[in-house]
Structure 1
Amino acid sequence: MSSNPPSLGAPTAPGPPISTALKGSKSISNPFGVDLVIPFSTSVGKDRVKDSNEIKESYEHFLRALESEGGLRIASRSGNKIKGKEEIWVFVGASDEKISELLKREQSLDKNHNLPQHNHEGELNPATRLRLIYNLLTAPTVQHGLGITPGEGKWKRVKSIMALHDEEMDRVWIERWTKGDWKVGLIAGLDQSDSTNLGAHQPPPIHLYFEFLTTYSLSLLPLSIISVLFYLLTPADSYPPLYSFLLCLYSTTFVALWRIKERKLAVRWGTSGCESVAVGRLRPEYVANMGWDKAVPSSGENTVEVIQAGHDLTRDAKVALSVPVILICGMGLGVVLMGIFVLEAFVGQVYDGMGKQIVPLMPTALFVLVVPQIVGAYGKLANRLVKWEDHPTPVGAEKSLTGKTFAMNGIVAYLGLFLSAFVYVPFGPFIMNYVQGRMTHTSTPVASTPEQAGLGPRTSGEKQHAIKADRLKGQLFAYTVTNQVVNIFLELGLPYLLRFVADWRSGKTTLKATLKKQDGAEASPTSESEVEERFLKKVERELALPDYSLFTDYAEMVTQFGYVTIWSIVWPLAPVFALMNNYIELRSDALKICKHVRRPIGDRVETIGSWLQTLSIISWIGAVTNATLIYLFRPSTALHHQTPNPNVPIHGNTHISVLLATYRSPPTLQTLLPVLIPLGLIALAASHGFLVLRWVVDGIAERVLWRGSEEERKLQKLKAKSGNVEQRVMEKRIYDLGSLRGGFWNGGEEGAREIGRVTKAE
């Protein structure tokens, strides 16, 4: 094989002479056809002799594993030289013949398990190519992989496995998004086998996410129109029941339509059933726990087809046992948030003593300092629980982690609104009087009045008029508008700023050099050594980027879905601002994926997983919450035959304010029963009504959009063939090692020399 750098369009094919490649080197982001970069740690600790021997043995074992798999090109270079963070960069590429072998092996496995076949005629798209090589390196030996698990066991010196960005394809993708084409995400995901496709360089999970985000954003358009009409034509704070029903219908319909759409996409993309244990990539830790790590795989087939029922039951029991742990953590977080809420909503308003200027700032400070620490600690606990549950596939483990983690995120996102709606607004005056009374009683033994206790005069009914439903609107505006603006800056602007500061502090750049680079004034390389030097700088730059996590983007959109479906009745303009945000979010996420994180590599997926169940739960919560809010805050024309409580103003003349205003003293359980009993019955009726509505909508969607569709007919044909499975045996090819060496591809020689130099120096 030629040692000359291949062209951009064909990353594994022999390229033109170096002089020809250099003419267009400004558009070449990967001149040597590197598929994956693997940083190998060579840092030495206190026990230098032990660490030096470990480095030699680990590197030798690592290279032996790579070289044992025919068809791979290997190169090594000295990488990071920062004290305590020394690295060797190992580059891996695959020949076209190897990719063809891996693809045929996957297709054979899919066919033997009756998965819909995908046509891969012509040039294979870059995302599929990277996925096949990544799976080869990380799949356990029982699935014909090398079982490399970065940071674990004998692979603990392997820090990560990273793919390099295709800067030219990224640039074109971002340009299409910035033109305002809503259909970019849909077009990009229609055919994942087409290498000329706009989004073909992104993996299946990214395709599915952008499909979801585009579909969800477009679904907000009719809801936004309806919301604006209700906002303009109905009285303020009227909580119209018709709008509540339309919100419930919207959420139920969207979930039903997306469930059908993702099923169709799975058939169209050939991923239906790909997440099963018999087909999906297994976790090496699971294989080791099952005792399969010593098994010898049969030629071309996945030997793992049936998982023992005992292990399934054990895992299910572990999942069930983790539920109480999640509930306890959720309750603890809820108590902390409630304490912060009381401090912000009540104590801050009545305290008038020493340091009164600081007291209103304490809730924000506590929220910023305490809540992230609790959520972070829970995240570590959730990771341990998922590892303890021992899921077979990485996709299954990720789904379990998603459900556990978003439970805490949901509490942080929604608890403040629920406390405002069901505690602060209806019972705020009574709680404020109680808090003021308790602070007066406990602040000092001689204080008999609020003034003596440093609390100022007792809050009058007129002053307590500030406790009103406008607080809900303010919170919802902050969540749907202010927070989203901040998130966009954190995703786009802050990474640029942090990278510039880090490079400036290390002496790698200056403001003038950065501006010159942005102007595109960077000179083209004139020699092979300059091409390699620039390429290694690109590798260093991308290794410094964080890994991409789909969880953050999905969590942001699912949380927003909750704000729209649960709380839009409080502020009908919420869907409008959500739509505006998502128009920007589609483009900012594309820019983030291309510029601010490592290039994603993902397994095949057929569904958005736990997020779909989360959307259904949010829809149900929205139906119940809307019904109870209408009951509590609906306009009332009740006549007051009793003397109203002077400390409780009648704000907005709502049902709850009229009832509570008749009390001469703070309400007790007996006096609250006329409110709580109907409230519970209404919530129960709304819950059952939602279940009926969902059953009807799901049935209609199934009949109209799925039955008789092309995708259903294709699956039916596959099921009909399930009894006649044709087993194919794939022969392992023999590759000429000499054809995979030369030029940039020097094997592990340079890395071995660097390790020898480091250990000798030590």
Structure 2
Amino acid sequence: MNELDEQPVFEIALVLSKEEEKIEDEDIHDAWKVLVDELKKAGLLVETVPGLGHGFIKLAAPLEALGKAAAELQIRKRTNIGMDLTFEWDQVKAFARLADGSLFSWCERHHCYRHLIYGIVNRSKLAIPLKYGSKKFYWEPWEPLLRKLETDGILKQVFPLHDEQKKKAMLRSWALNFWDFTSQPIDDIYLYFGTKIAIYFAFLGMYTRWLLFPAALGIVLHIVDFGSLQFLALPLFFTSIITWAVFFFQFWKRKNYALLTRWNISYTVGTGPGYKIFGMDLNSRHHPLEFAKKLETDNAKAKEAYQRDEWLGRLKRIRNDAVIILSIICLQMPFELLYAHLYEVIESDIIKFALTAIYLLLIQYFTRIGGKISADLIKNENIENEYRADSLIYKLFGLYFMQTYIGVFYHALLHRNIMTLRKVLIQRLIVSEVFENLLENSLPYLKYSFKKFGAIRLEKKHNNGSSTGKIKVTSRVEKEYLKSVYSASIGGELEDGLFDDFLELALQFGMIMMFASAFPLTFAFAVVNNIMEIRTDALKLLVMHKRPVPRAAATIGAWLNIFQFLIVMSICTNCALLVCLYDAEGKWRLEPGLAAILIIEHILLLIKFGFSRFVPEEPAWVRASRVKNATHAQNVSRELLRTISGVEKTINLVDGT
């Protein structure tokens, strides 16, 4: 087979409302037929599928259609010599292929699909009358057809479709492969879901493998009696896990660089829709030189506008941060302290367990409200999309940080009841993880069942009970449509479902690190949970939800800073715990014990900020590859300059004659 003959697969679906009554007028074009014809003219393969409550159009794109769209979008791709150049369809053989032999990644293909379907416009000089059922409207000149159909409520949704063949293969090799506890086909995940989801699962897998070391230490410390050396065991354990955490994140950065190099990704912001630099949409058709000329002509006004927007944005950010902090102090903290106090005074373990379950249910609801308020506040900040997402993450983590840890701090530092603290840690780890997994996997199925029941009921109502057979949802595309979207619990505008998954990992990391000295066995609970989390998250993405829209993200972003913050917090909290432990047991006097622990704290802070410089973030082979690519780019640039200079000399000679 020719290397350019990639087998097209239906990857995008359009959902249109069902036609009720039709207008009988031959002079008016049928919108459904016009849409299908225009999609075919754009080079797409089209298949229409009838449904119970909607009509569906499945789309597949031959390689040539994707290639021409990528050239129009000026997507930069890795060439066979290792350089990133703007894609050109005429020079397709010069560009490198991915691991599965395909030319474009899922993120690039999805972007090309949207360019093709939303680029359908009325190129005539007159408005075209269209009809859809009982509706009649006009398609104005140079108006995008899909936008018009969306505005009139005809086009309900555009969503990606699962590739059944690849999905079944990944179910076998990943989601249902329980023998390899932490092994994952990361390259296949990248090719199927895109960079952001692949980076998450790479981080989750590496984090789970590295957790085996502190889990083993925690089990040994819990089982073995060290006798007279017992008073040294906890400080040594705590020092070990801080060193472990520092090295883990440094080696994760190295792995992150290695993955991006292996996937031929050289960007740090992304190539997805909506990413802008200095107000320029990277995915627009306008050439950067045009933008530069426009910026140069109005330089003074642009500079003034940028400065005004910059300081206005900072003031709005300070205001929003103040609103969030005051809300936490005035509203959330009293609620958290009330729960902690009730847990301390109640004697029945059953009532305590029930109280924890009710508390976790309530804070899920309250925090989602806080998340939506935070998202609304951030919309008024004059910052770009990727920074808006980071700002939202920081604000929401502040809410979750307070709700998760304030009660535990109460037991650890104010009440100094270590046995109660251990019970709280066990219940939080078990109840919250079980509760989260139940929500993650049961809610999507319940939503799907409810939508399916509603579609069948609507069809029966439409037929007035005239249908003799049992009404079923038969088409695969309609089943995909009824599934829920992989979105964040606080709304999907800035973040997808990975927000909740990363949040769960961050809260778990804070729980096991900040209270490690009180209960070292928590690391073992975290390992078991994360092994199950890998499989349940895989099933959730492959079976429970629609195929996610790819989001371009080369790192874990703001979450890395949150994990680093939690390491510093764990140094402070564990030193305080050691003071409480040794003072309560009477093995140290408070004064020398406190002095020793302060020394330990300074040593650990030195380890945190010193060892992070010991391990280089970028592997040597990645750095060598980058230097090699830069050298190639410099040589090519010189050749281009020589060519341009030669053209200019020729023009000057012609003008002189």
CA contact (8 A) 2:106 2:193 kept: yes
CA contact (8 A) 1:560 1:578 kept: yes
> Residue 380 of structure 1 is aligned with which of 356, 372, 377?
372
Alignment of 1:234-253 (within 5 A): 234=225, 240-253=234-247
Give the CA deviation at 1:106. 6.5
Distance 1:383 1:233, change over 3 A: same
Corresponding position of 2:396: 405
Distance 1:207 1:715, change over 3 A: same
Distance 2:281 2:451 in 1: 45
- Residues 1:324 and 2:333 aligned together: no
- Residues 1:173 and 2:85 aligned together: no
- Residues 1:706 and 2:655 aligned together: no
Corresponding position of 2:515: 567
Question: Secondary structure of the equivalent of 1:91?
Answer: strand
Distance 2:246 2:226 in 1: 27
- Residues 1:584 and 2:536 aligned together: no
Distance 2:146 2:410 in 1: 45
Corresponding position of 1:268: 262
Distance 1:265 1:495 in 2: 31
CA contact (8 A) 1:203 1:600 kept: no
Question: Secondary structure of the equivalent of 2:205?
Answer: helix
CA contact (8 A) 1:410 1:559 kept: yes
CA contact (8 A) 2:12 2:158 kept: yes
> Residue 13 of structure 2 is aligned with which of 10, 26, 37?
37
Corresponding position of 1:127: 106
CA contact (8 A) 1:228 1:573 kept: yes
Give the CA deviation at 1:706. 3.0
CA contact (8 A) 2:413 2:576 kept: no
For residues 335-360 of structure 1, what are the alpha-carbon distances to aligned partners after superposition, in whole Å with 9 as ceiling and x for unaligned? Answer: 221122223323x46xxxxxx99997
| Residue identity in the other structure for 2:96 | N
- Residues 1:473 and 2:385 aligned together: no
Question: Secondary structure of the equivalent of 2:248?
Answer: helix
- Residues 1:164 and 2:131 aligned together: no
| Residue identity in the other structure for 1:168 | Q
Distance 1:725 1:271, change over 3 A: same
Question: Secondary structure of the equivalent of 1:706?
Answer: coil
- Residues 1:537 and 2:451 aligned together: no
Question: Secondary structure of the equivalent of 1:161?
Answer: strand
Distance 1:65 1:397 in 2: 40
Corresponding position of 2:298: none
Corresponding position of 1:93: 60
| Residue identity in the other structure for 1:376 | R
CA contact (8 A) 1:624 1:686 kept: no
Distance 1:155 1:376 in 2: 31
The structure carrying a bigger strand percent of its residues is 2
Q: Name the count of aligned residue pairs.
A: 556
Alignment of 1:119-268 (within 5 A): 119-120=96-97, 122-124=101-103, 127-128=106-107, 130-134=109-113, 136=115, 154=151, 158-177=155-174, 178-182=177-181, 184-185=183-184, 187-189=185-187, 197=188, 200-234=191-225, 240-268=234-262
Distance 1:268 1:360, change over 3 A: closer
CA contact (8 A) 1:39 1:161 kept: yes
Q: Calculate percent identity across the aligned residue pairs.
A: 19
Distance 1:270 1:40, change over 3 A: same
| Residue identity in the other structure for 1:341 | A
Give the CA deviation at 1:482. 3.7
Distance 1:717 1:315, change over 3 A: farther
> Residue 297 of structure 1 is aligned with which of 285, 291, 303?
285
Distance 1:99 1:234 in 2: 66
Question: Secondary structure of the equivalent of 1:621?
Answer: helix
CA contact (8 A) 2:182 2:534 kept: no
Distance 1:727 1:475 in 2: 67
For residues 213-235 of structure 1, what are the alpha-carbon distances to aligned partners after superposition, in whole Å with 9 as ceiling and x for unaligned? Answer: 11101101122222222222346
CA contact (8 A) 2:390 2:557 kept: yes
Distance 1:535 1:133 in 2: 30
Give the CA deviation at 1:696. 1.9
Question: Secondary structure of the equivalent of 1:240?
Answer: helix
Distance 1:584 1:501 in 2: 27
| Structure (1 or 2) with the larger CA radius of gyration | 1
Give the CA deviation at 1:588. 1.4
Give the CA deviation at 1:243. 0.9
- Residues 1:71 and 2:43 aligned together: yes
Question: Secondary structure of the equivalent of 2:211?
Answer: helix
Give the stretch that moved more between structures: 410-419 or 399-408.
Answer: 399-408
Distance 1:147 1:110, change over 3 A: farther
CA contact (8 A) 2:51 2:475 kept: no
Question: Secondary structure of the equivalent of 1:99?
Answer: helix
Distance 1:58 1:341 in 2: 64
Distance 2:381 2:149 in 1: 18
Give the CA deviation at 1:595. 0.7
For residues 643-687 of structure 1, what are the alpha-carbon distances to aligned partners after superposition, in whole Å with 9 as ceiling and x for unaligned? Answer: xxxxxxxx74577xx98xxxxxxxxxxxxxx89xx97x8897666
> Residue 502 of structure 2 is aligned with which of 542, 554, 562?
554
Distance 1:292 1:475, change over 3 A: closer
Q: Which has the higher contact order (CA 8 A, sep 6+)?
A: 1
Q: CA RMSD in A?
A: 4.8
CA contact (8 A) 1:565 1:619 kept: yes
Distance 1:260 1:313, change over 3 A: farther
| Residue identity in the other structure for 2:509 | F
| Residue identity in the other structure for 1:420 | H
Distance 1:727 1:539 in 2: 51
Distance 1:535 1:69, change over 3 A: farther
Alignment of 1:526-675 (within 5 A): 537-548=475-486, 549-634=497-582, 636=583, 652-653=585-586
CA contact (8 A) 1:163 1:600 kept: yes
Give the CA deviation at 1:722. 6.8
Distance 1:558 1:314 in 2: 32
Distance 1:389 1:343, change over 3 A: same
Question: Secondary structure of the equivalent of 1:38?
Answer: strand
Distance 1:68 1:78, change over 3 A: closer
CA contact (8 A) 2:195 2:551 kept: yes
Q: TM-score, normalised by structure 1?
A: 0.62
Distance 1:624 1:58 in 2: 69
| Residue identity in the other structure for 1:581 | N
For residues 703-740 of structure 1, what are the alpha-carbon distances to aligned partners after superposition, in whole Å with 9 as ceiling and x for unaligned? Answer: xx636x12112223445547975999xxxxxxxxxxxx
Corresponding position of 2:333: 334
For residues 529-560 of structure 1, what are the alpha-carbon distances to aligned partners after superposition, in whole Å with 9 as ceiling and x for unaligned? Answer: xxxx9996222222222211111211112222
Give the CA deviation at 1:212. 0.4
Distance 2:111 2:221 in 1: 52
Corresponding position of 1:451: none
Give the CA deviation at 1:80. 5.3
Distance 1:271 1:66, change over 3 A: farther
CA contact (8 A) 1:620 1:690 kept: no
